[in-house]
A = this chain, B = another copy of it.
Amino acid sequence: MLLTKQKVFKDPLYGFIHVDHVAVKKLIDSSVFQRLRRIRQLSGVQMVFHGAEHSRFSHSLGVYEVAYRFLEIPDLKKSLNKREQLLFLIAALLHDIGHGAYSHTFEAVFGVDHEKIGAGIIVTNQEIRQILDEIDSDFAEDVASIILKNSRYPLIEQLISSQLDADRLDYLERDAYFTGAAYGRVDLDRIIRVLKVKDGRVVFKVSGIHAIESYLISRYHMYWQVYYHPVARAYEVNLEKIFLRLKHLIEKKYSFAFNLAPIKKIIENPNDLRSYLMLDDFYVNGLIGSLIYESDEVLSELSKDFINRKIWKYLNDDQANEEEINRIVKQYNPALRPYYLAKRTVENSTYKDFGESFGEKIYILLENGEVSSLKEQSRIIDSLLQSGTKKDPKFFYRP
């Protein structure tokens, strides 16, 4: 059902976010979606790039708007019927609904999966479910299937999550805008002009190959300059260690002064969505702020570091530093090492071209109508693929 009057939100990237459907407006107004305002998009990164204080709410609206603009592409208009178009818009809007505060770190320690949680919320949360049921009774399940990549709607899945999709197009541009990074600019207009559908698959006209190369290189630089900045990583290691100590203490039935109910419940049942929805930045930061006053010294110290931004130190974890690292490790009581020391490696290839599965390869539509792959058509990308994956192993320690 369409709104009687289009609703817009002012956005610093796109000028306006355009909303035409009643359901989309209701979803944005739902408390589950509003909760994304309280979860920042970039965890540790904002400790280095102070401008990057934007939330998953802004990003989710952005992905929705990219999807909205995609729907002006003639091939997509033809390939998707009206219901599928709405499915695409709503899946774009809700693709990150399963995120909690610092969720990548949280997931690693507590073993939850934000995509499964997201699908769970879409299907079972009363507020969301009711809005989607008003469209039709299969809608919620269909949106969830797209988030889970069940291949029920492969074309929409590719548009939302692949090597070149609405999600990435928004976050690269948005994160670049808010950090102030010189990289990350994406020629969205151009990419939209060359996006076609061939045999149910997203392909890009060969004339757009430079825009795609540029996008992949920008992504590469955003990873190495912004997302993988060592100070951001050090901050995330600090956080991970807090979660780890917390987990261990809960397992040991340590008695907490602060109300840990939601976290305890999630440990017992990782599918307790009601508890999960409480885990926004306010809760987690409030929690850590309180943990400073716990009697467990390890937890208290770790929490103080986090709140007062005492950034841990780090060294490249390579042969040149082997001796130095060993020397440092020995200075720590073995019982403390799991909490105060960490070896972590990040790695990133500009682009992966593996497999035939939809959504992983970037396909290029040649002038003669044949479909090729980016790897075959781009000398620059081919050589980068051959150069393999760049890794950065680091040793972090609490000084």
Contacts and interface: CB of A to CB of B under 8 A. Distances in A.
B383 A10 contact: no
Interface string A225-249: 1000000000000000000000000
Interface stretch (A45-53, A90-98, A146-154, A327-335): A45-53
A55 interface: yes
Interface string A370-399: 000000000110111011001000000000
A259 to B, nearest CB: 9
Contacts of A382: 387
A49 to B, nearest CB: 5
Interface stretch (A163-171, A213-221, A353-361): A213-221
A348 B332 CA distance: 55
Nearest to A40: B53
Interface in A4-44: 8-13, 15-16, 29, 31, 34, 37-38, 40
Given A34-B308, A380-B384, A182 B214 contact: yes
Given A54-B53, A307-B31, A180 B213 contact: no
Nearest to A30: B308
Interface stretch (A116-124, A128-136, A196-204, A280-288): A280-288
Contact of A214 (B29, B177, B221, B289): B221
A138 interface: no
B54 A180 contact: no
Interface residues of A, number: 66
Contacts of A224: 210
A15 B214 contact: no
A12 B210 CA distance: 18
Given A214-B217, A289-B282, A31 B308 contact: yes
The DSSP consensus for interface residues of chain A is helix
A61 interface: yes
A219 B137 CA distance: 50
Nearest to A17: B50
A71 to B, nearest CB: 15
Given A213-B221, A308-B31, A380 B350 contact: yes
Contacts of A34: 308-309
B8 A193 contact: yes
Given A34-B308, A217-B214, A283-B286, A57 B50 contact: yes
Interface stretch (A79-87, A183-191, A268-276): A183-191
A187 B183 CA distance: 8
A325 interface: no
A307 to B, nearest CB: 7
A217 B212 CA distance: 12
A300 interface: no
Contact of A221 (B46, B210, B384): B210
A58 interface: yes
**A-B interface, 4 closest residue pairs, ranked by CB to CB distance from nearest:** A12-B180, A182-B187, A383-B387, A383-B383
24 contacts: A8-B193, A11-B50, A11-B180, A12-B177, A13-B180, A16-B189, A34-B308, A34-B309, A50-B57, A50-B58, A51-B58, A53-B55, A53-B58, A178-B178, A182-B185, A182-B214, A183-B210, A183-B214, A214-B217, A220-B380, A282-B285, A283-B286, A379-B390, A384-B384
Given A210-B224, A282-B286, 9 more contacts: A10-B179, A12-B178, A13-B180, A16-B193, A34-B309, A50-B61, A183-B187, A283-B289, A380-B387
